[in-house]
Amino acid sequence: MEIQNVILRGSFSPAVSSIQTRKSRLFTKLAAPFLSEIGSPKWVSMKCDCSFHSDTSPNKTILQRCRNSAQKAECKGISDVEEDKPKAKIRRKNLAVFVSGGGSNFRSIHEATLTGSVNGDIVVLVTNKHDCGGAEYARGKGIPVIVFPKRKDTEEVLSGEDLVIALRSFKVDFILLAGYLKLIPAALIQAYPKAILNIHPSLLPAFGGKGYYGMKVHKAVIASGARYSGPTIHYVDEHYDTGRILAQRVVPVLANDTAEELAARVLHEEHKLYVEVSAALCEERITWREDGVPLIQSKENPNDYR
Ligand code: GRF
């Protein structure tokens, strides 16, 4: 798939959600540094869908469901309480994945979008390492690649705001960080509230934060004597690994584990967990408890929240 085709399709198709309650039309210009990849400047029109849902869980805690796309940041202050009405078909979501390395999580999510178990499409890959395994895989699959931040030896500078504009040109609803080692710019976090997830290879809040990445995490887990580890998927805020926890999976730490063995066991669970969470995200099954904790509604049993 040509990048140009993706841009044109992404920019002008009238993707209107049947569940939307408010719309606002936004006009934005593609980021200048981005144009070198996609041709001449174009003004693109994007719809902004905002919808808030008030719900009551079995234990009477008030839950709020976010069904809107990431562009809801543009609609601040608009909120609606949905009345009981038949469920409309859920719009397929546009995903951006951020990687710095091999991208095995990216691949498993991409495969799940192709098989239909995730109701979304990966429309763009963002990486700080233009030649990493994840970027090579994306190019091979025709997924556009944005390098962010640009390498220091290039003259081009892509700011956080430029990245937001570029992602909006792809109508990105959700951002999935999968082994992306750079801190996310504040502009992106502000532009995509409750729409950026990260996967971390330990049971947060343990073994997280600056410096805890790759094998360092697993070495620290083994050295601590912890008997359990596992991946955590959490929302992203301005700091490393401190956003609200959305999902976790537990694996045992065995007596003779090396860091590599533990990492492989955790990664195996990561692939399954990130696909499950991506499916929930794209099916609008994420609900917010009134104390701010996000929960996933079970597909099989809609009264079950985890
Ligand atoms: C994973 O272990 C993830 O938890 C961490 O970075 C690693 C990425 O692996 N954030 P991969 O690139 O998806 O194979």
Report, as residue numbers or ranges, the catalytic residues. Answer: 200
The Cα 134–Cα 143 span in angstroms is 11
Q: Render pLDDT for 232-265 as a digit per residue (tens, 0 to 9).
A: 999 999 889 999 999 999 999 999 999 999 999 9
The band of 26, judged by pLDDT with boundaries at 50, 70 and 90, is very low
Q: Render pLDDT for 45-101 as a digit per residue (tens, 0 to 9).
A: 222 222 223 333 444 445 555 444 443 433 333 333 444 556 679 999 999 999 999
Q: Render pLDDT for 182-215 as a digit per residue (tens, 0 to 9).
A: 989 999 999 999 999 999 999 999 999 999 999 9
What is the position in ligand 1's atom list of the atom closest to the CA of 201?
Answer: 4
The edge-to-edge listing of strands for the beta sheet with 294-296 is 52-56, 62-66, 286-289, 294-296
Q: CB of 129 closer than 6 A to ligand 1?
A: no
Question: Considering the entire predicted model, what is its pTM?
Answer: 0.76
Least confident of 15-29, 64-78, 270-284: 15-29
Q: CB of 241 closer than 6 A to ligand 1?
A: no
What is the position in ligand 1's atom list of the atom closest to the CA of 107?
Answer: 13
The band of 223, judged by pLDDT with boundaries at 50, 70 and 90, is very high
- Partners of 200 in beta bridges: 232
Q: CB of 200 closer than 6 A to ligand 1?
A: yes
Give yes or no for residue 270 having a pLDDT over 70. Answer: yes
Work out the average pLDDT over 107-124.
Answer: 98
Least confident of 5-9, 119-123, 154-158, 216-220: 5-9
Q: CB of 101 closer than 6 A to ligand 1?
A: yes
Give the residue from 197, 176, 185 showing the smallest Cα distance to 31. Answer: 185
Q: What b/e readout covers 233-254, taking b as 16+ CB neighbours within 10 angstroms?
A: bbbbbeebbebebbbbbebebe
Give yes or no for residue 32 having a pLDDT over 80. Answer: no
Residue 151 has what pLDDT? Answer: 74
The Cα 76–Cα 48 span in angstroms is 11
Between the CA of 200 and the centroid of ligand 1 the distance, in Å, is 7
- For the record, the structure tokens of 169 come out as 């040109």
Between the CA of 179 and the centroid of ligand 1 the distance, in Å, is 4
Between the CA of 293 and the centroid of ligand 1 the distance, in Å, is 24
